[in-house]
Amino acid sequence: MKLTQRTQAQMDSPIGAMAHLLDQIPADKPLLDLSQGAPGFPPAPEVVARIAEVAVDPAGARYAPLLGLPPLREAFAADIHAAYGGDVEPYDVCITAGCNQAFCVVTSALAEPGDEIILTLPYYFNHDMWLGLDGVKARYLDPGDAVVPSVAAAEELINDKTRAIVLVTPGNPTGQTLEPELLQEFADMAERRDIVLIVDETYRSFVPGDEPPHRLFERLTWRDHVVSLHSFSKDLAIPGHRVGAIIAHPDLLREAAKLIDCISICAPRVGQEAALAGIREATEWRAAKIEEIAAKQRVFEEVMASKPGGFELLAAGAYYGWVRHPFEASSQDVVRRLLLEQGVLTIPGDAFGPADPGCIRFSFANADIDRLGELADRLKAIAS
């Protein structure tokens, strides 16, 4: 069987890459899983109840409208308006089978094979994988240890093949939240250079403080140069139901819908109903879970403040901490040692860029808060 170079050139997903070693961890070091960024708690009772109702309703198994259930598009547009201000209407919303699909169909609608899209390092690995699979060249904006990208440096990468620049805030893998003023500067640059600013806001509910994550939707021309991507997986704890969203110009949504029609026809109806119930009925539950994860972040930052074992926290937020390890060895080797010697499961930093940055992604959000304190001793032990 002859397979394509486009698929063979891409790495396998790093999630679960060390799973085959789990039976080899020390018996005296129970697994401390800081790998996958997925909620470790069930959905809100209101969401669970709605899922059960839809599951036994004959209509619940039917296709949904291509752009999503109208009540969900309306509720989500209203939710975004309440959180951000500005002008977002239901016709600006397309519901997708997760935020990964949102990214894939948006970039495929914007870029032809041979075009270029700028990714900020460290990138979310599925973004880079998809561009490679789609024949689009990724150009990398490297902010270094500061993990905050520069508008001037980004502009230097733009040429006549550039179609978009992608920012993830809060970041995956860094957790870094970009300031609203910086996002405005990137939007100004995108408009000036006639490209699209794609903002992946999967973790937008976990932005600290009460201010809007940005004010891009207040721009009179935002639909011409801004695309916002969203997920219902994290703050509603429904990742397996695959529900995400695109906020963009209706013309772009029309093109993205053609791709959705070929891939999945529509986002799963049960997941859409779950998301709608979450928006309408689980406001207090969402707020409590967001605070619960924020508390885990505070504990994680306290644990890392003393640089245990020489491991240095560079950034943290939402679900993740981006940590520089103290060894000459590769990040892959360090992650392997952490698992086999100390029972700590993490993701190596070379999964998030074309080269090894000497860093590791820790996902504290799905860890037991009472066990996060064990991390310092385990990091010290591997460095001793």
Would you place residue 144 in the very low, low, confident or very high pLDDT band (cuts 50, 70, 90)?
confident
The kind and range of the H/E element at 344 are strand 344-345
Residue 295 neighbours by CB under 8 Å, 6+ apart: 369
Q: Starting from the edge strand earliest in sequence, which strands make up the sheet with 162-168, in order?
A: 93-96, 244-247, 226-231, 196-200, 162-168, 116-120, 137-141
For tokens 């790495």, what's the residue? 11
Q: Which amino acid is at 258?
A: K
Are 170 and 322 a contacting pair, CB within 8 Å?
no
* Confidence (pLDDT) at 29: 80
What local confidence, expressed as pLDDT, does residue 251 receive?
97
pLDDT tens readout for residues 92-103: 999 999 999 999
Q: How far is CA 142 from the centre of its chain?
A: 18
The CA distance from 301 to 319, in Å, is 12
Beta bridge partners of 359: 324
Contacts of 208 (CB under 8 A, 6+ apart): 177, 294, 317
User: Pairing state of beta strands 93-96 and 347-348?
Assistant: unpaired
Confidence check: pLDDT of 194 > 90: yes
- Rounded distance between C-alpha atoms, residue 257 and residue 132, angstroms: 21
- Specify the pairing of strand 347-348 against strand 359-363: antiparallel
pLDDT at 39: 87
pLDDT tens digits along 67-114:
999 999 999 999 999 999 999 999 999 999 999 999 999 999 999 999
Q: Which is nearest to 205 in space by CA: 274, 280, 263, 283?
A: 283
Question: Which one-letter DSSP state was computed for residue 203?
Answer: T
3-state secondary structure of 19: helix
Q: What angle do CA 40, 125, 182 make, to 5 degrees?
A: 90
End-to-end CA distance of the chain: 49
pLDDT one-digit tens code per residue, 313-358: 999 999 999 999 999 999 999 999 999 999 999 999 999 999 999 9
Place of tokens 């689980």: 282
Closest residue by Cα to residue 246 from 189, 202, 181: 202
User: What is the model's pLDDT at position 15?
Assistant: 65
Q: In the chain, what are the domains?
A: 5-42+285-383 (3.90.1150.10), 45-281 (3.40.640.10)
Q: Does residue 14 contact residue 35 with C-beta atoms inside 8 Å? A: no
Dihedral sign computed on CA atoms, order 126, 128, 129, 131: positive
The candidate with the shortest Cα–Cα distance to 332, out of 7, 17, 9, 8, is 17
Instruction: State the Cα–Cα distance between residues 131 and 106, nearest whole angstrom.
Output: 11
Beta strands in 221-260 (DSSP E): 226-231, 244-247
Per-residue pLDDT reduced to its tens digit, 14-66 = 766 666 777 777 777 888 999 888 888 899 999 999 999 999 998 888 999 99
Nearest in space to 283 (alpha carbons), one of 231, 228, 236: 236
pLDDT at residue 37 in the model:
85
Using a 10 angstrom Cβ sphere, with 0-12 exposed, 13-18 middle and 19 or more buried, the burial of residue 306 is exposed
Q: What is the percent of the chain with per-residue pLDDT over 90, rounded to a whole number?
A: 84
- pLDDT (tens digit, 9 = 90+) per residue, 203-238? 999 998 889 999 999 999 999 999 999 999 998 999
**Cα–Cα distance between 347 and 363 in angstroms, integer?**
9
Angle at 326 between CA 369 and CA 309, to 5 degrees: 45
> What is the total residue count of the chain?
384
